[in-house]
Amino acid sequence: MPGRAKVAMIGDGNVGSALTKGLTRAGYDVQAVGRVPSRVRELAEWGDIIVLAVPFGERENAVEEMGDTIEGKPLVDVTNALAGGSYAGGVDKSGAEQLQEMARKAKVIKAFNTAFAPTMSTGQAHGERITAFIAGDDAEAKGMVQRMATDIGFDAVDAGPLQNARWLEALGMLNIQLAYAIGMGNAIGTRLIHDAKPQRRP
């Protein structure tokens, strides 16, 4: 399809594979890579959008492998702030804000971390469209990721600046607790009921 961005998927586990499936179905040119450092840099250079779908503790390694190829590009952080199974985020700084410090020349966008892999290829859970909350400081980059989420099938919602990733990562942790500690399973999803055009506060 014309107009679709080239997406470099850094990470080919459950999350990366599900997003690759959904984006490919939506007409995007997607290439994915696992733990192959030379290929990571090659794909990051090729892609218009880079999706970072690696474990939380591997983000810095991935950024080093991509090098300067990420300059000026949307870098989509889909990770959840987990270390040793415990929450590693906080109210003072999110994992996404940490990532922006690691990748200063990229345009970090937080997205997809509040959905589980079984729902990521369609944007639906139990036949219902779910919400993709998208936070970032660059309007153009955020718009590209919102379109990507909508094309997969999500209801894409602008969640404000990147610092709001602090709350998205906390929501991601709540989802993990609901799915695994409470026993609801990972086919669940969050849906925001909202007006099509939110009323901005002056």
Residue 13 lies in a domain: yes
Instruction: Decide if 185 contacts 121 (C-beta within 8 A).
Output: no
- Domain tally, the chain: 1
| CA 66/CA 64 separation, integer angstroms | 5
Which neighbouring-strand residues pair with 115?
A: none
Q: Is there a domain that residue 24 lies in? A: yes
| 1, 49, 61 from 99: Cα distances, Å | 31, 16, 11
Q: What's 112's domain CATH number?
A: 3.40.50.720
Of 86, 105, 82, whose CA–CA distance to 94 is shortest? 82
Spatial neighbors of 175 by CB under 8 A, at least 6 apart, are 114, 116, 188, 190
Is position 1 within any domain?
A: no
Report how far residue 199's alpha carbon sits from residue 52's, in angstroms, rounded to the nearest whole number: 32
Beta bridge partners of 76: 51, 109
Does residue 174 lie within any of the structural domains? Answer: yes
Least Cα distance to 74 among 43, 110, 27 occurs for 110
The answer, as to whether pTM is greater than 0.75, is: yes
| 171 found inside a domain | yes
Report CA dihedral (90, 92, 94, 100) to the nearest 10 degrees.
Answer: -160
- Whether residue 199 lies inside any domain: the answer is no
pLDDT at 1: 40
Strands (E), 71-142: 74-77, 82-83, 86-87, 107-110, 124-125, 128-129, 131-136
Q: Is 189 within the bounds of a domain?
A: no
Domain, as residue range, for 120: 6-181
Residue 195, domain member (yes or no): no
From residue 149, alpha-carbon distances to 46, 156, 166 in Å are 20, 6, 20
Per-residue pLDDT of the chain (202 residues; tens, 9 = 90+): 446 899 999 999 999 999 999 999 999 999 999 989 989 999 999 999 999 999 999 999 999 999 999 999 999 999 998 888 888 888 899 999 999 999 999 999 999 999 999 999 999 999 999 999 999 999 999 999 999 999 999 999 999 999 999 999 999 999 999 999 999 999 999 999 998 776 555 4
Alpha-carbon distance 188 to 119, whole Å? 8
Q: Please choose, from the candidates 25, 15, 72, the residue with its C-alpha nearest in 3D space to the C-alpha of residue 47.
A: 72
Cα radius of gyration rounded to whole Å, the chain: 16
**Predicted local confidence at residue 195, as pLDDT:** 85
